[in-house]
Amino acid sequence: MAKIQYLSSSADLPSGGRYVLVEYGDENRLFSHSRGITVTVDRSMDANLLEAHTETAIGEAQAMADQEHIDTVFVAVPKRAG
């Protein structure tokens, strides 16, 4: 299973290799690019819904990473306390 690594910002992504990135944005979106896949979670949602949707997106990102033989899911959203 792909490991999850939290980043303070997507600017902190390593310069090489393939990845799946989960980050906040203006809409829910999934897109492929030359280095992997980016999953964007709409940050304008209610806090509880945003937290639940983010956790779901991270789980789905892990599944996509495994399918694409990508070792790491980078998460550039604040880590949930607890």
- pLDDT tens-place values along the chain, 82 residues long: 899 999 999 999 998 899 999 999 999 999 999 999 999 999 999 999 999 999 999 999 999 999 999 999 999 987 765 5
Q: How far apart are CA 4 and CA 40, in angstroms?
A: 16
> Which of 61, 67, 63, 41 lies closest to 52 in space, CA to CA?
41
Q: HSE-up of 58 (CA within 13 Å, CB side)?
A: 18
One-letter identity of residue 44:
S
Nearest CA-CA partner of 10 in 35, 28, 27: 35
- 49 by Cβ neighbours in 10 Å (0-12 / 13-18 / 19+) ranks as exposed
pTM: 0.91
